[in-house]
Copies of this chain bind each other. A is one copy, B any other.
Amino acid sequence: MPSNWLDETEQLAWRNFVTTLPDLNAAFEADLAPHGITMGDYEVLVFLSEAPDNRLRMCDLAAALRLSPSGLTRRLDGMVKAGWVERASCSSDRRVMYAHLTAGGRTKMEITSADHVQSVRRHFIGPLGAKGVQQLSSLFLAIREQLHARQPS
């Protein structure tokens, strides 16, 4: 074993982390499933609802979602078909397409968000406790800053 191996405490932390993540994610998906929407699509609704004019350029939205351009194109296809989003072209730059939240999309998000917040509270906020929420917040902030320090996105 190399000298930089994880000690027991570090090993335990790492395992607690990586073994919990998939189940946590599955729990959120399962809670959203009755609404007929995935976490991925729901996140699109959230980003658009918070953007100016309820719209974002495809490339900006893709970057925010950590999705490839083609991946977003196809995800949006489905959401347009569902009536939650529409495409709109840009007058000042005819290369860009806006993803624009429709009224139906906003309604969908509002209905869904109530359950989703409850889901986050039950699976995430609740078990952490008030102190744990603050701890976890700053821990992940530190991780993210370290990530962006080397690879400024």
Contact = CB atoms under 8 A, between A and B. Distances in A.
Interface in A75-112: none
A135 interface: yes
Nearest to A16: B140
A66 interface: yes
A143 B121 contact: no
A126 B146 contact: yes
A10 interface: yes
A53 to B, nearest CB: 21
Interface of A: 2, 4-6, 9-10, 12-14, 16-17, 19-24, 26-27, 66, 114, 117-118, 120-129, 132-137, 139-148, 151, 153
21 contacts: A4-B114, A6-B117, A6-B125, A9-B137, A12-B137, A13-B125, A13-B128, A13-B133, A14-B124, A16-B141, A20-B140, A20-B143, A20-B147, A23-B144, A27-B147, A127-B139, A127-B146, A128-B142, A128-B143, A135-B135, A135-B136
Given A143-B128, A144-B16, A5 B133 contact: no
Contacts of A20: 140-141, 143-144, 147
A151 B12 CA distance: 23
Given A9-B137, A12-B137, A14-B124, 13 more contacts: A2-B117, A4-B114, A6-B125, A10-B125, A19-B144, A20-B143, A21-B21, A23-B144, A23-B148, A27-B147, A123-B143, A126-B146, A127-B146
